[in-house]
A and B are shown apart, each in its own frame.
Chain A
Amino acid sequence: MDIKSGHTAHSKNGGGTILSHTTIPPEFLVQIDPQKCTQCKRCVVECSFGALQFEDKLIAINEKCSACQRCVTFCPQSAIAIIKNPQAFPEHATWTEKIQRDIWKQAETGAILLVGNGTNLPYPTLFDHMLIDACQVTRPSIDPLREPMELRTYIGKKPPKLQIKVEGPKQNGGFKLETPISPNIKLDAPIMFAAMSYGAVSLEVHKALASAAKNLGTLMNSGEGGLHKDLYPYGDNIIVQVASGRFGVHKEYLETAAGIEIKIGQGAKPGIGGHLPGEKVTAEIAETRMIPVGTDALSPAPHHDIYSIEDLSQLVYALKETTNYKKPVFVKIAAVHDVAAIASGIARAGADAIVIDGFRGGTGAAPQAIRDHLGIPIEVAIAAVDDRLRGEGIRSEVSLIASGGIRCSADVAKAIALGADAVAIGTAALIAMGCRVCGRCYTGLCPWGITTQKPELRWRLNVEQAAKRVTNLVRAWSRELEEILGALGMNSIESLKGNRERLRGFSLDHITLEVLGIKPIGK
C-alpha cells in the first residue's frame, strides 16, 4: 500500500488493503534543527541502527530510532532532539498504544516479541515503600567520615558454631580452632557484579568489569557464555557460571575462578534459558561457546541433568569433586512464588551461596511476555528466604545475594536489612559505562559498544575509562552505605544484615508487611 499517494493496493484474491509493517507509526522522531546543523554527518556515523542517513541532506528514518541518545550526545552543534512521536492515537485505557503496537507486530510475524533490559511495566517498587531508621538521642549515630566503617563481607558456607580446643597456656594464646571452615570469598564491600554473558555483552565490558572488580576487591561473573582467555589473569575476582548450555565449561575454566555458579534461572526470564541471537555469534563468540558462527545460542530451559532437587545436589558435588572442594559453589535462581522452599532445598544440596534474581532483573534478550509477567520482586524473595532458612536452622549454610533492579545505595542497604549478605548489580554497572537503557541489546547494534560484537562498535567502549566509571559508582555507593550505617549507629555491615527492625513500610498492606517482616511507619 502506498500511504503517501493514497492509493490502495488490492490483493489478487479480492479486495482489502495489504497491511505491512510500514503502517505502524514510529515510536520516536529524530528532529534536527536546520539552523544549527552543519551537515558534518557525525550523527550518521554514530547511529548504529541506521536511523540517520545522508543523501544531499540529512534524512531521519524514524522507524529505526531507539532513542539511545548516541546522536544527541555526539552532535557538535547539539542540533538533535529525540522526541516521542506526538502522533495522536485515540487514547484508550485498555487498548493502549503499546498494546496496539505489540499486536501489530505479532500479526505481522507470528513471532514472540523479544526485548532487552529489565521490565518496564509500572509495578510498584517495594524498595520505594520502605524507609530506613536513624539514630536520635536514644541511640548515638556514628560519624562515617572520621570513624572506621566496615563493609567487608565473606561469601560462602559458615559453620553453625565453632569447636575450640583449649591447649596449654603457653601455646597459641591457649586456643586452637578445630572446626574446618569451608572456602569463602572476601568482598571489600557487599556489592558484586551480576552475571552478564560474553556474547550478550562485549569482551571490553567483561574486561572493564574484571578490572573494576579487582580494584574494588569484589567479584564479577562470567555469565553463561564462557570466559575469554584474556580474562584468566583476573580469575581471583571472577565467578564462572555453569548454565544449562554449559558454554565454555571445562576444568581450567573452573579452576581459574574464585568460585563457580550454577545458573538455574535469572529474574528477567524465570523458567527459560539464556538467549543470544545469531546476529551476535561472531567467530570469537563461536570459539568460546563452541557453536557454529551465526547460529542462535538458545540455552535450554532446564539443565538437562537437573530435573529434581536431588539432581542439583548431584551437580554441586560433581563440580566440587572436579575442583577438589576448593571453590565455593553458588546457585543462581529467579525469584518465583515458592522461592523460600527452593532456597531451603538448595541450601541442603551443598551450595555455598544462593543468588536470587528478582523479576526486575535485566537481560540482553528475553520474550516480553516472560520478562514482564513472571517472577516476584527481590524484596519479598529475600525476606521470605531469609525467614525460611532461619526457621529451619540452616541460614549459616549459605550466603544470600540479592539482585534484580538494585538502583542505588539505599536499595543495597534495604536489601541487606531484609536479609541479604550482599547484592549484585548488572544494569547499574552498564549504565555507568554509558548504557541508555534503550532496550535494543539483542540486535547487536549497541551504539555505546556494550551489548555488541561488531568490532567498529566495540571500539567505542574504552576499557580503562569504563572500568574507572564502574569503580567510581561502587565506591560512591560504598561511601553512601557508610553514611547510612553511621546514621544507624553501626560501624559494621553485619549489624544491618537481616535487621528488619530498622526498616519501616510506607503505604504497604499488612500482608506485604508480614511477608517482609517489617512494621509500618509510626509503629
Chain B
Amino acid sequence: MINEEGKPIPGAEPIKAMEAMAPRYNGLGAGYAGYGIYPKYKDFYALHIMLNDKESKIAVEDFLKSNVNVEYDEPIPTKEVSGVQDSPIVWRYFVNPGPAGQSSDQALDPDDLIVDLVSRINSGFEGALVFSSGKNMGVFKAVGYPWDVAKFYRIDEYEAYLWLGHGRYPTNTPGWWGGSHPFNIIGWSVVHNGEISSYGTNKRYLEQWGYKCALLTDSEVFAYLFDLLVRRHGLPIEVACKVISPPLWKTIDRTHGDEGKLLQAIRMTYADALVSGPSSIIVAINGMKGILGLTDRLKLRPLVAARKSEMVYIASEECAIRSVCPNSDEAWTLKAGIPLIAKMEGGPS
C-alpha cells in the first residue's frame, strides 16, 4: 500500500491486511518492507543484517569499517514471540560510502558501491546476510506467520508512506530467514507470488552483470533485474516491465510503428531477462517513492488493486484490501503483463 501524498501509514494496517489472507500462508516465511521509516537518517543507506553469532558480527563490522562510513548502528528492536524461533542477531547500520570505499581515480556511483558491498557480504561471509540496503527504508523478515513476524519486529511501532507485506508458502526452495520475502537491493523491494520456471536462465544472466543470487530463492531475481534494467541500463520502469513480462510474439507482430519495433528489440536483447512462470509481483521502486504491481502475461496468479483518495492498495486477494479499506472509490484486477504504477506526486523519478 502507498499513500500518494506521503502521509504516514501506521504498521498496524499492513498487518491487518495480511491477516485476512491467512489460508495462503504455511508459516514458513513472512516479511514486511516500510519506506519512510528512518527520517532521522534518511540520507544514509540503512543496512539490515542477519548475523549467526558474535564472531560473524565482528567480521562483518570490520569489513564495513574498511569500506564505508558507519554513521550509527544499533540492534533492530525485536520482541520474543513463540511463533518465531531460532532468530539470528538482527542489526541495522546507517552507512555511506566514504572516501575509504572509493578508488582514488574515479568517483563511483554510491548505489553501485553499496550493491557491490552487499554482494560481497552475502557471498563472502558465511554467517552474515544483508537483507535490506536502501535509504530511509527497511525490510523486516523471518520464518513464521505474518502476524508473528510482525510482532517479532514490532512493526506496529513504525509508520511508513509505503508498505509491502508477504506470507510465504514455499515449494521448491526451503523456508529459511533469508528466503522470506521481500527481497531487496538498495531501494528496490519485491514481494512475489508464484514460480519462476526461468530461474536458471535469469540467474546466469544476472551473474554476467555481477549479481550473485545468494538467497536460494527464485524470487530474488526480480529485485536484481529491476536494479539492472532501470538503474544501470536506464530503462524507464514501464519498459523494464515489458522486458520481464513481454507480450507474446503474436501480439508484437500485430503492433506497428515504433512500439512494435521497440517490443521486438526488447525481446531480442533481453531474452535472458524474460521471467517465465505464473507470477504476480509488487515492487517498491528505487528512487521514485512509488510502487508497482505486475503479473505474468497469462495472468496465472491473482492481483487486485483499489484506490481511496490518496491511498492505493495492491494485493493478492480483495479481502486483504477490504479489511483495511472497506469502501474504496474504485477496485479492479490488474491486466496480464500490464503494470500498475502508483507514486507520490512530485516524487523524484
Contacts and interface: CB of A to CB of B under 8 A. Distances in A.
B172 A342 contact: yes
Nearest to B25: A310
Contact of A308 (B23, B26, B194): B194
B312 to A, nearest CB: 24
Contacts of A309: 169-171
B278 A345 contact: no
B232 interface: no
B202 interface: no
Question: Which of B169, B173, B194, B195 has its CB near the most chain A CB atoms (within 10 A)?
Answer: B169
A290 interface: no
Contact of A310 (B24, B172, B173, B174): B24
A345 B194 contact: no
Given A307-B194, A307-B301, A345 B171 contact: yes
Nearest to B24: A310
Contacts, number: 42
B193 interface: yes
B108 interface: no
Interface string B170-196: 111110000000000000000001110
A462 interface: no
A395 B24 CA distance: 22
Contacts of A342: 171-172
Contacts of B26: 310, 313, 348-349
Tell me what chain A mostly uses at the interface: helix, strand, loop, or mixed: helix
Contacts of A348: 26, 28, 169
Contacts of A345: 169-171
Contact of A313 (B23, B170, B172, B194): B23
Interface residues of B, number: 17
Contacts of B194: 307-308
Given A314-B23, A317-B23, A348-B26, A308 B301 contact: yes
Nearest to B167: A310
A348 B301 CA distance: 20
Interface in B4-61: 23-26, 28
Interface in A145-187: none
Contacts of B278: 307-308
Interface residues of A, number: 14
B27 to A, nearest CB: 9
B214 interface: no
Nearest to B298: A307
A14 B169 CA distance: 64
A317 B193 CA distance: 20
A450 to B, nearest CB: 37
Contact of B172 (A307, A317, A341): A341
A338 interface: yes
A348 B145 CA distance: 14
B301 A338 contact: no
B300 interface: yes
Contacts of B174: 341
Contacts of B172: 338, 341-342
B301 A341 contact: no
Contacts of A314: 23
A294 B304 CA distance: 41
A317 B25 CA distance: 14
A153 B173 CA distance: 32
Interface of A: 307-310, 313-314, 317, 338, 341-342, 344-345, 348-349
30 contacts: A307-B278, A307-B300, A307-B301, A308-B169, A308-B171, A308-B194, A308-B195, A308-B300, A308-B301, A309-B169, A309-B170, A310-B23, A310-B25, A310-B26, A310-B193, A313-B23, A313-B26, A314-B23, A317-B23, A338-B172, A341-B170, A341-B171, A341-B172, A341-B173, A341-B174, A342-B171, A345-B169, A348-B28, A348-B169, A349-B26
Interface of B: 23-26, 28, 169-174, 193-195, 278, 300-301
